[in-house]
Structure 1
């Protein structure tokens, strides 16, 4: 890298740290720290949601898939887009007016405190593992381009995210995400994509040079597409970091339209990054590690100055997701475990302090796990496998099937989580089968236990939730 490119990236990092200080001044209450005061307009909301969806696996992972399989590499991120659109169309209206902070709160409202606790533990694990993928991605970029040791690169990238998230919570994350969304959009769509196609000799040359399978949208294989559906589409519908962003929207209309808009943006992003990977296959054949395809392509084709901007755009995608999932995991642990089961009431001051301490501890754990795992897609597979297989059905059936009982939801999560973790240990971390086993065991257990459970179909908490859906405020906003 040229000195100018390094200067551009350093300025960008310093700007993020400065924004972190600004966010810290605005985070005065727990709602400020966790959901930005529930006060984001459409532009800010869409930018932040798109930024948290599209992270390290979306950029580095999809480029790798484009390099290996061609245009069918779009399926990883496309499944994220399908999941987020489904969330906007079918679930946002049901959850927005509950004024909750986490998925686990919804499960307590629908079922009981035990279900809240176990779902918080599982979902926090998911959020931590997604954060791990982003830190690995940052480490990969800095390792390839700056030449630092991979471990040192992860420490630097993860440390910056931890610092500004620790200071201002969701306000810092929101403000940095807006900057990151703009930079990643310019870097990918206006700089990297057109220059990659040009360097590869144009689209016509790609068609002549690449194998025919590279232009087949199913070339990656139906089994892999199914795997992405189970992992990412289902996982996105119930991801705490995404739900937490939904609760930042000022109105229901903003929450719905912004969520759908972010899903559409995901499709475009998937297509652009897959094509960049295809171009890399032509320009840089025989890479030892396809995970480095994006970084190597950037170094090869970009002139001085532009390289720094594009690399900042990739780091932006990584940091935005990392900060969102880091905050999501600490929110789940503090709000649904520490606060919920604390013997003494937790004041605003104590809540904020506990949140920051928890964020710090989780951040250190994340960096340690990143150094240990060092593979973006493997870490992401583990995260979504546990989430999709064990929490998806209890939430969906809890919202749409009134007969589901608290006992059924609780044991469904426990049983399916055990099945998935055991399956991953036996068949390997990249196997899809454990997710199917988890979903099957989750469905069977929740249905059978609900039918044989003598508990009432609607608890007092459920009746309260039903009443919330019928408030005049919700009806007015829905109109």
Structure 2
């Protein structure tokens, strides 16, 4: 979750909208210190549920189970906080989905000569469709823990992408082609891990190696190896 949060659209989008680099760096640091305690509190909630409900089979139900024992007022405040967090996250994610569909798919592959007015219409359309799709999926998966499974898998992929991002920022031998291949390979490994666990109820190698660890390790090894053997990285290095 920590690595996944580093590549979250909801966090990166406001930083990229800063008026200059200095403000972006300063806001990122302040946000990191402000958000860090929430990660600790989340872990404490899980530990509390573990002690209070030792027979709880599904760890994903820890928070709902704890909320059932709260006073109505306290439970309402907690529920309102969760809803506020959801709504504040949904808007940038839906906007990001519409932007990516417009810029990375429509303009790049369908209509490269589209003017700004056309792109605006397509962006509005794809953003609206993204919102509708989210609502439909929410209704379909109502009362199921599959939503949490999807969220955890998304964090897995984002965490692995963060590893690739670090290579690209700090390692001169990092290759752009290796980065693309690494992200594709990481996605495949993560999907295989989740599918295997869904079918068999256990993970392929060891119970402790979840899809998160598998994807992050795959991202690290593949990015390192592919960059070293890639001609693209050598050419980039010679041009420095």
TM-score with structure 1 setting the length:
0.40
Cα separation, partners in 2 of 1:368 and 1:443, compared to 1, 3 Å: same
In 2, are the aligned partners of 1:404 and 1:446 still within 8 Å (CA)?
Answer: yes
Match of 1:267? 36
Q: Name whichever of 436-445 and 236-245 sits farther off.
A: 436-445
Whole-angstrom CA distance in 2 between matches of 1:283 and 1:442:
37
Q: 1:293 to 1:449 in 2, by over 3 A?
A: closer
Residues of 1 paired with 2:48 and 2:188: CA distance?
Answer: 42
Give the Cα separation in 1 of the matches to 2:212 and 2:41: 29
Paired residue for 2:3?
A: 234
Residue in 2 that maps onto 1:446 = 223
Shift of 1:356: 1.4
Q: Does 1:353 align with 2:121?
A: yes
- Distance in 2, Cα, partners of 1:345 & 1:417: 32
Matched, 1:403 2:183: no
Displacement of 1:310 in angstroms is: 6.2
State the 1:350 CA deviation: 1.8
The one of 150, 166, 186 equivalent to 1:379 is 150
The 3 A distance-change label for structure 1 pair 280 and 421 is closer
Is structure 2 residue 79 aligned with structure 1 residue 292? no
Residue 396 of structure 1 deviates from its aligned partner by: 1.8
The question of 1:249 aligning with 2:18 is answered yes
Query: What runs of 5+ residues in structure 1 fail to find an aligned partner?
Result: 1-231, 467-479
Structure 2, gaps ≥5 residues long? 204-208
Query: What is the CA deviation profile of residues 112-164 of structure 1, one whole-angstrom value per residue up to 9, with x for unaligned ones?
Result: xxxxxxxxxxxxxxxxxxxxxxxxxxxxxxxxxxxxxxxxxxxxxxxxxxxxx
Cα distance in 1 for residues equivalent to 2:221 and 2:45: 43
Residue equivalent to 1:317: 85
The answer to whether structure 1 residue 436 and structure 2 residue 213 are counterparts is: yes
* Structure 2 residue aligned with 1:414: 184
Q: Which residue does 2:132 correspond to in 1? A: 364
The alpha carbon displacement at 1:296 in A equals 4.0
Rounded to whole Å, the distance in 2 between the matches of 1:335 and 1:329 is 10
> Using the alignment, how far apart are the partners of 1:451 and 1:277 within structure 2?
41
For residues 280 and 233 of structure 1, do their structure 2 counterparts lie closer, same or farther at Cα, with a shift above 3 Å needed?
Answer: closer
RMSD value, Cα: 3.8
Instruction: Give the 3 Å change call, closer, same or farther, for CA 295–327 of structure 1 in structure 2.
Output: farther
Larger-Rg structure: 1
Distance 1:440 1:275 in 2: 27
For CA contacts below 8 A with separation 6 or more, give which structure has more relative contact order: 1
Q: Equivalent residues in 2 for 1:80-91 (5 A)?
A: none
Contact 2:99 2:123 in 1 (8 A): yes
Q: Please identify runs of 4+ aligned residues in structure 1 that moved more than 6 A.
A: 273-284
The 3 A distance-change label for structure 1 pair 438 and 295 is closer
Q: How many residues align?
A: 226
Q: TM-score, normalised by structure 2?
A: 0.74
For 1:24-423, list aligned pairs within 5 A: 232-270=1-39, 290-293=62-65, 296=68, 300-302=71-73, 307=76, 311-373=79-141, 374-375=144-145, 376-389=147-160, 391-423=161-193
